Each structure stands twice: as structure tokens, then as C-alpha cells.
Amino acid sequence: MAKCFNGRPPYYARWIEVFAVNNLIETGEGTFVFAGSALERELLEALAGELKGGELMYIEYGYDKETERLLRLGLPPHVTRLGFLLLRNGFTVLKDFYIPEGFMEGEAKLQGEKPASADDERRHLARIVEEVERALPSLKRWAGEQEYRSWMLRALERAEAILQGLEPKLSFTPGSGKL
């Protein structure tokens, strides 16, 4: 499900929330896994394409055990599977988000925000590089643990892609939504 809020300018920015995601979808041909599928990627790209600078996307991540586990281990959201997907779609500020509201808040979610200006984007990308560099020792340490090895190796690949794409030249093209 997705909820779209059109905002109340100039006080509240627009946002989109993706929630109640069913990861395993039964079809007549078997079980379809949503997490990591082309359908998930295309849906999030389409929704992200509707948002501009300063606008937000929230995604419940309980259906994605990899993202959930990496966040619980204290790793930066950008190296998680869903966080990296958000980054590639132009969201440079990511937060692990949960607000208790008397059982009406929904699940934990990632909050992604698109930068409002080119200066904000440069600042955010520099901060992402710093966070990823600080996380590398933990990622490498956790990759040695059998229980986490496959997830950590994928997180290390995403970290390397971030550092290669952002560190030398900050090659993220403003407004393109692509690294």
C-alpha cells in the first residue's frame, strides 16, 4: 500500500509512505518474493520520481530482513539494501524511523529525503561518504561471522559502490535520481 500526502506549502512538504508490504505473494504459478525483485525496484523508482527536493519517502522495512538486520546492527542506512535503493533514487538523507503513537504508528521504516538544493546535495553526499568510511571496519568484522556473511558481503559491495561513486568526484547528478 502507498499513502501520498500533497503537502501544505510552505509549511509541510509532500511525502509518500509505502507500508503493509507483503513480501511473499502467492500466485497460481507459485510464490513471488517482492524484496529484491524488479517489481519492487520499478515501484520505488516510480514513486521516487514523483518527489522533488525537500520531499520525503517512508518505506516500512519489516518485509526486508536484510535491511532490518543491518540497521539493528547499527550500520548506516545507505549500505542496506533498501537504503541503497533510496540513495540511487535521489534520497541523500536517510533515517531509521519509528514513532510510537499508541499502537497506530505502523512498523519501523526508512525515511528518505531528497536534497532541496545542489549545496545540500553536496553536503549530504560528503556526510554519506564519512559514515560509510566509519562503518567499513564493522562491516568487515561482521562479514567474518557466518550468520551475517552473505548480508555483510552485499553491504560491503554497496559501501564500495558508494565510495567509488561519491568520494572522488561526487558524481551524483542533481535531479537525475541516479548514481
**Confidence at residue 102, expressed as pLDDT on a 0 to 100 scale:** 67
Q: How far is CA 27 from the centre of its chain?
A: 28
Name the residue among 75, 70, 79, 73 with its Cα closest to residue 160: 79
Left (φ > 0), alpha (ψ -120 to 50) or beta: where does 76 sit?
A: beta
- Helix, strand, coil tally for the chain in percent (to 5): 45, 20, 40
71, 81 contact by CB (below 8 A): no
**Confidence at residue 101, expressed as pLDDT on a 0 to 100 scale:** 72
Work out the mean pLDDT of the chain and round it to a whole number.
88
**Confidence at residue 157, expressed as pLDDT on a 0 to 100 scale:** 93
Q: What angle do CA 82, 85, 89 make, to 5 degrees?
A: 140
Looking at the predicted structure, is the pLDDT value of residue 125 above 80?
A: yes
Looking at the predicted structure, is the pLDDT value of residue 149 above 90?
A: no
- Kind of pairing, strands 93-97 and 109-113? antiparallel
Task: Categorize the per-residue pLDDT at 105 as very low, low, confident or very high, splitting at 50, 70 and 90.
Answer: low
Task: Categorize the per-residue pLDDT at 137 as very low, low, confident or very high, splitting at 50, 70 and 90.
Answer: very high
* Dmax (CA) of the chain: 50
Does residue 120 sit in helix, strand or coil?
helix
Provide the residue ranges of all domains of the chain, joining segments of one domain with +: 2-166
**Confidence at residue 174, expressed as pLDDT on a 0 to 100 scale:** 40
Q: What span, in angstroms and rounded, lies between the C-alpha atoms of 101 and 145?
A: 36
| Residue type for position 153 | L
Give the CATH number of domain 2-166; options: 3.10.150.10, 3.40.630.30, 3.30.70.20, 2.60.40.10.
3.40.630.30
Task: Categorize the per-residue pLDDT at 168 as very low, low, confident or very high, splitting at 50, 70 and 90.
Answer: very low
Left (φ > 0), alpha (ψ -120 to 50) or beta: where does 102 sit?
A: left
More confident site: 178 or 133: 133
